[in-house]
Amino acid sequence: MYPTVVANLLLSTTPSRWFMNSIAFWTIVMMGAMCIGGFFMFRKFLKVLPKADGKSKLDWQNYWVERSRPMWNDESKALLDLLVSPVPTAFRDIAKHSIAAEIGKIAIENKATEVTRDHCIQGYIVATPKRDNKFLMKFLKKNEIDYKPYEHLLNR
């Protein structure tokens, strides 16, 4: 009796149930991964689209970073590195660039000769998405950075 059961399984023309379930499972996993990746690629695509002034968000970030590059000193660079330290390493360079652009914009609009600690804190608060304000305040408190003068920026 045993050899006939094995023979029937080996000669069966339909795939086994576990095989079909594993195909369905991996199909769902792969579709989920593609949707997540597509979402992030679409967000990046939206940043590259030109706005009404003809420049994209990334163009403006590059403009402010390049324009403020000579204004950065070692102290402000070290503070920027500290501020982006909680960001996961995969995204840290992108976050650092966008925060540096906002800091540079604030410093230039204030007609400063160099980027100061106040510019860094203010730019960090403005560049951080509103949904992360709770974490931002906890991080600033942990590092003993006074954000009270810029509290009004948290509720924008």
The three state secondary structure string of 26-54 is HHHHHHHHHHHHHHHHHHHHHHHCCCCCC
> Distance between CA atoms of 69 and 10, rounded to whole angstroms?
70
d(CA 93, CA 88): 10
Domain coordinates of the chain in residue numbers? 57-153
The confidence score (pLDDT) of residue 156 equals 61
Residue 143 CA to residue 128 CA, distance in Å, equals 17
CA distances (Å), origin 142, targets 136, 137, 147:
10, 9, 12
Percent of the chain with pLDDT over 90: 49
pLDDT at 136 over 80: yes
Question: Rounded CA gap, 103 and 68, in Å?
Answer: 9
**CA atoms of 17 and 120, how far apart (whole Å):** 59
Where does the pLDDT of residue 122 fall: very low under 50, low under 70, confident under 90, or very high at 90 and above?
Answer: very high
State yes or no: pLDDT of 11 exceeds 70: no
- Report which DSSP code applies to 150: G
Q: How many CA atoms lie within 13 A of 82 on its CB side?
A: 15
Q: Kindly report which listed range (12-21, 40-49, 137-146) carries the lowest average pLDDT score.
A: 12-21
Q: What is the pLDDT of residues 18-33, one digit of tens each?
A: 888 999 999 999 999 9
What pLDDT digit, counting tens, does each position of 44-93 carry? 888 888 888 888 888 999 999 999 999 999 999 999 999 999 989 988 99
Q: What is the dihedral of CA 61, 43, 128, 81, to 10 degrees?
A: -60
